[in-house]
Amino acid sequence: MTEKHFIPIPYKNSLENGSFSWSSPSNIALVKYWGKKENQIPANPSISFTLDACKTTTTLKVSKNESPNDFSFNVFLNEEKNDGFKPKIYIFFKRIEIYLPFLKEFHFDIETNYTFPHSSGIASSASGMSALALCLMSIEKEMNPTMSDEFFNQKASFLARLGSGSASRSIQGDLVCWGKHKEITGSSDLFGVKYPFQVHDNFKNYQDTILLVDKGEKQVSSTIGHDLMHNHPFAEQRFMQAHENLSKLINVFKKGDLKSFIEIVESEALTLHSMMMTSMPYFILMKPNTLEIINKIWSFRKATKSNICFTLDAGANVHVLYPSNEKDTVLEFIKNELVAYCQNGQYICDQVGIGAKKM
């Protein structure tokens, strides 16, 4: 399949105005996407748990664009007009116009509500861009009502990817793979697919408690970080390693092998950050408290034989991952020993979710 698959034929129906709402979750990568080629094609495949509580709800209000020679839209963030997001959305519209040729015909009021702080290392661009892509797909569906659900989801993920790569993994649940991998049936660089193989009950309702170590804007955006993987001395090795880790995970998911899961996931997190530290220019997104938390998790695991582990996004916050049957003990540990390292004691209890919902 190529990009052309997503260029629509002339629509059957027309639309004057309307309002479309979707709620779309964030996701947490187990094998990380870090590095990309032109047109948001990932340098390596990635896989993530779709989250549940961390989500964005977007309402897209559609009316006629009085000056259809350019895109026309306003952005409202948690009820307030916000022009800060406009450039990113403008670029997004430009990238996807060929796949949604109606974009300039309409004026859009994009009303977005986050359940968590944006630009904090919790993938807010993933939930935000996927929610917007889904609203746009609802418009297309009005104009082409016979579209299948499979195509709807595929194209939503395809469009979301063009807004933010990781957003392609937020349409469905509970495990989503994005990027071509030779052993994963149906996997594609163009969109995310539901993980197609057997997953052991050990991974059902997997818990993710997100410790907010630093809620400030990060100094280096993911987009710049990805770019620094061009000419990175360890890039090729890293991309190969991601393929290998994904291969290993197939068996881990099947067998419910938590020990190997922990090893792969923590190694991926530290590799991601070591890529940042060995870029030119180099940078560090972890904070002292990130390391304090990691060490505490390791001590607790050693002392209690718990299956707790951590992962990191492109930020200082720590995602604490653990099986649902350890919920009580791990939460107790988090409250007693880790909350002290969180900014204003803040953390978010989340778990694996089923994907985006139409409102």
* Interface positions with ligand DP6 (CB under 6 A): 29, 32-34, 40, 46, 123, 125, 164-166, 222-223, 226, 272, 313-314
Alpha-carbon separation of residue 169 from 166, 222, 290 (angstroms): 6, 16, 25
Tell me whether residue 165 or residue 355 sits nearer to ligand DP6 (CB atom): 165
Alpha-carbon separation of residue 174 from 49, 52, 134, 169, 200 (angstroms): 6, 9, 18, 10, 13
CB of 77 to ligand DP6, least distance (A): 18
CB of 216 to ligand DP6, least distance (A): 17
Tell me whether residue 65 or residue 187 sits nearer to ligand DP6 (CB atom): 187
CA dist., res. 89 & res. 129, Å (int): 9
* Residue whose C-alpha is closest to residue 193's, from 176, 170, 168, 179: 176
Tell me whether residue 32 or residue 232 sits nearer to ligand DP6 (CB atom): 32
Tell me whether residue 246 or residue 330 sits nearer to ligand DP6 (CB atom): 246
- Contact predicate 322/328, CB 8 Å: no
Tokens 């009502």 belong to which residue? 145
CB of 127 to ligand DP6, least distance (A): 11
Tell me whether residue 318 or residue 330 sits nearer to ligand DP6 (CB atom): 318
For residue 24, the cross-strand partners are 56
CB of 75 to ligand DP6, least distance (A): 17
CB of 166 to ligand DP6, least distance (A): 3
Tokens 């990309």 belong to which residue? 36
CB of 47 to ligand DP6, least distance (A): 9
CA dist., res. 48 & res. 120, Å (int): 18
Tell me whether residue 8 or residue 117 sits nearer to ligand DP6 (CB atom): 117
CB of 145 to ligand DP6, least distance (A): 31
Tell me whether residue 52 or residue 333 sits nearer to ligand DP6 (CB atom): 52
Token pair listed for 81? 């007009």
* Residue whose C-alpha is closest to residue 48's, from 193, 222, 256, 211: 193
The CA angle 204-174-357, to the nearest 5 degrees, is 125
Cα pseudo-dihedral 253, 198, 250, 350, rounded to 10: -40
